[in-house]
Chains A and B, each alone.
Chain A
Amino acid sequence: MSIDAEMKAALITFTIESLELLQDMEDSLLSLEDGADPTERINSIFRAAHTIKGSSGLFGLDHIVKFTHVVESVLDAVREGKIDVSSDLVAVLLPCCDHIALLIRAVVDGDVEENPDMTTAGDALLAELRPFLEGNPSSPVATVAPTPDRVEASGGGEVETGNWHISLRFGEDSLRNGMDPLSFIRYLTTLGVIVNLTTITNRIPAVAEMDPETNYLGFEIDVKSDAGKEALENVFEFVRADSIIHILPLESAIADYIELIRSLPEDDAYLGELLVKSGVLTKRELEDGLSKQKSDSEASQPAQPIGEILVEQQVVQQPLVTAALEKQKQIKDNKARESQSIRVDAERLDKLIDLIGELVISSAGVNLRALQTTQTALLEATGEMMRLVEEVRDSALQLRMVPIGTTFSRFQRVVRDVSKELGKDINLVITGGDTEVDKSVVEKIGDPLMHLVRNAMDHGIEPAEVRLQNGKPSQGTLRLNAYHESGTIAIEVSDDGGGLNRERILAKAVEKGMVAADAKLTDQEVYALIFEPGFSTAAHISNLSGRGVGMDVVKRNVTDLRGSIEVDSTLGVGTTMRIRLPLTLAIIDGFLVGVGKSSFVIPLDRVVECVELTNDNGNNDYMDLRGEVLPFIRLRNLFCINDQPPRRANVVVVDVAGAKTGLVVDRLLGESQTVIKPLGKLFAHAQGLGGSTILGSGEVALILDVPVLVSSFEHKMQRHALSISA
């Protein structure tokens, strides 16, 4: 009989045996509550499940293993008295038996693959079993996915250089335990070529003392193998506890490993991690070293550096530790370079930037005047000056740029604490931490980010059991990422959770009257609804979101920073919230307008359109904009400008949180990039002004803070209306 035919025969044995076991299991389950001592019956029920699980694994029937594992866990807890036998339990276990039988019959019919319908049915049954396990925290239900046995050499090491020295001193009892040293060495030859082997015989004592059943031999082996250190270590798994085993890179290979350590990416600053990554140290060796360090320091000895411990325990050589230490220092230095620079009072820096802003403007004035002359030498000189001044401005703005990483890394703690609070296992992955952004932006982005992060953890990432059911790893991943994109910085908060439910958002929005029931909206438009004030889906209530901050506040914060926010989401896969912000708040794209002799700058991103003010009687404060009522503010009145008004005024339509307001001005002067100068303290009470700037002509222009301007104007109007009605 061929192997294939034999395996087929074995599979038939498996199905017959399993169906018999299931029949016994059912009979035992049905008789469990008859009052007689159930111990032996419980044992046999457990063994049946255990056997079916083990056998299914041999045939690669992973879906049966997965289902039976949970049943087995429950039965194990029953066996150990952690769960009482009850009619409820029997009522749940019986259908589980039936389900296993179904799965096995499918195998009999030649269907060895997972069948989605059956899996759904199985998941429903498992959901009923879970409550029994939950009351019993020590049950090993978390290990649903059977981890592959470590016996098999994992192969495929992390490094190309595969030259190892293995030093083996087998324990004295090895032979008595049936663990033959030479047999392990023979197995080693299946992983690589033994280049050199020396049998160490000097521990064999004098004839009289020599116990022939005690092992005295040791071996020093040079092996050339592509398998990693981990795989080599696993060869000696069974004798590790009693033997002294050192696996080290060959002296000749050390240089290669040093090179490898040097070329590692700089994202890990721990010595041990560096060594593990380079493949010269295994995780187990590192853990052993760390636990020794810990126990030493608990014994109130001065903590020994991990590098020294590892060398002492002969799991890695000194030159490699030295190389890793150098690498570590290099990483630290690079990090330090970011944070160690000279501390400058932020105010001084601001003053410098102000001055440079003025310098830019006045040099523009100089240039203008030079252009009016025909002196070529002067023109050349001013041209060169302009170039330099712009360079100075750029590098001055650069001074305020800080990496966003420090803001990001604060979230490590937040994520840890909130995960604990929510009972979820969530891992934070930070990328793009060295992306730079203006200091003022970094200071203000913390709160909105915090809300997005909490929101993603609370609502985005599903509970572990839901994740497992959906075939995701139980640990959720939250990502913070930043990158530059055409003059803005993009900051992303992504989760691998359930994604936004378009239908639910839409239904809620319709219910709240935010959109018409028949509205045709793109996904983007639907997702944008979650940022609307007053929007909150029913599922959005928990102790975390009960903190009084809604997504609308996030949106407002971001808008205040002259940024935007957008959402990408795929149902079942995850959500990415992307904030785009200007790189600096010190420069603004403005729209320059004139009223009388004064100039004002309106932030360009507030401007919707410009229209001419027609049929103006000079008294009303609203106009007809294509059939809509557009309230407007006369800047002339607001700022008490008494010059002769022009014959025709213009209205700049601005947008504040979706509401349009007009600003009546005399002249439209066009777009300009402006350096913002803060107003002096004298003007602190002036509402609606965001700062000032100096124009090329040397004039000062005031920058309007549109949201404040509009809301304070509305207040005034309300008071006015009240006083009239009173």
Chain B
Amino acid sequence: MAKTILVVDDSASVRQVVSIALKGAGYDVIEGVDGKDALSKLTGQKVHLVISDVNMPNMDGITFVKELKQLPAYKFTPVIMLTTESQESKKQEGQAAGAKAWVVKPFQPAQMLAAVAKLILP
């Protein structure tokens, strides 16, 4: 049974490329365009990993992770934060919120797959 990953980013192209890479590696993908949208997509179904951007309209990534961790079905779900080099403080905020893994933007799809592979079993 393929594992499911939620990808949250306001950029359609980022979602698209990440999805292509993840699907190519055998994962199922759900997409969310921002924190709010992502939360609305989470209806208790099994999600094995969340990948979320930080800067997004409506609800930013940090708030989203905090809310996610309040939901019993997702409180142990690993989260990869998409940070940038210049946002070290955001990375720490993200970790405090519960996103213990990170990938630094801009990244190549292979780098994303490596981070995912560290966190969930195939």
Contact = CB atoms under 8 A, between A and B. Distances in A.
Given A10-B13, A17-B11, A57 B86 contact: no
Given A51-B10, A179-B100, A179-B101, 7 more contacts: A7-B20, A17-B13, A44-B57, A55-B17, A150-B104, A151-B114, A182-B121
Contacts, number: 140
Interface in A178-203: 178-180, 182-184, 186-187, 190
Interface in A156-210: 175-180, 182-184, 186-187, 190
Interface in B87-115: 98, 100-112, 114-115
Contacts of B103: 149, 151
B57 to A, nearest CB: 7
B4 interface: no
A59 interface: yes
A125 to B, nearest CB: 20
B63 interface: no
B57 A177 contact: no
Interface residues of B, number: 46
Closest A-B pairs by Cβ, 7 of them: A57-B106, A178-B78, A14-B13, A10-B16, A140-B86, A54-B105, A238-B101
Given A140-B85, A238-B119, A149 B104 contact: yes
Contacts of B14: 51, 54-55, 58
Contacts of A331: none
B122 to A, nearest CB: 8
Contacts of A147: 85, 104
A153 B105 CA distance: 16
A262 interface: no
Interface string B53-80: 1011100000000000000000111110
Contacts of A176: 75-76
Given A183-B119, A238-B100, A65 B106 contact: yes
A580 interface: no
A73 B87 CA distance: 11
Contacts of A153: 114
A177 B11 contact: no
Given A13-B12, A146-B85, A58 B108 contact: yes
A54 B98 contact: no
Contacts of B49: 178
Contacts of B110: 152
Contact of B119 (A76, A150, A179): A179
A694 to B, nearest CB: 73
Contacts of B2: none
A564 B97 CA distance: 68
Contacts of B84: 50, 54
B95 to A, nearest CB: 8
B118 A178 contact: no
Given A55-B13, A152-B114, A186-B121, A47 B78 contact: no
Given A50-B55, A151-B103, A190 B117 contact: yes
Interface string A226-241: 0000000001011100
B58 to A, nearest CB: 11
B111 A46 contact: no
Contacts of A59: 13, 17
Given A17-B13, A58-B109, A47 B57 contact: yes
A3 B24 contact: yes
A49 B16 CA distance: 18
B86 A179 contact: no
Nearest to A190: B117
A56 B13 CA distance: 9
B46 to A, nearest CB: 13
B17 A239 contact: no
Contacts of B53: 54
B82 interface: yes
Contacts of B104: 147, 149-151
Nearest to B77: A178
B118 A238 contact: yes
A64 to B, nearest CB: 10
Contacts of A95: none
Contacts of A183: 118-121
B55 A177 contact: no
Contacts of A190: 117
A178 B118 CA distance: 11
Nearest to A184: B118
A7 B17 contact: yes
B76 A235 contact: no
B73 to A, nearest CB: 13
Contacts of A187: 114, 117-118
B106 A17 contact: no
Contacts of A446: none
A235 B118 contact: yes
A178 B86 contact: no
A177 B108 contact: no
B100 A178 contact: yes
B86 A76 contact: yes
Contacts of B120: 180, 183
A634 interface: no
A555 interface: no
Contact of A10 (B10, B20, B108, B115): B20
B111 A149 contact: yes
A388 interface: no
B24 to A, nearest CB: 6
Contacts of A184: 118
Contacts of A50: 55, 84
B100 A51 contact: no
B2 to A, nearest CB: 16
Interface in A1-43: 3, 6-7, 9-11, 13-14, 17-18
B114 A73 contact: no
Contacts of B86: 73, 76, 140, 143
29 contacts: A3-B20, A7-B17, A7-B20, A14-B17, A18-B13, A46-B55, A51-B14, A53-B105, A53-B106, A54-B11, A54-B84, A57-B108, A58-B107, A58-B109, A60-B108, A73-B86, A140-B85, A143-B86, A146-B85, A149-B108, A151-B104, A151-B107, A178-B77, A178-B79, A179-B78, A183-B119, A186-B122, A213-B76, A237-B118
Nearest to A140: B86
Nearest to A21: B11
A5 B1 CA distance: 26
A348 to B, nearest CB: 62
A9 B16 CA distance: 9
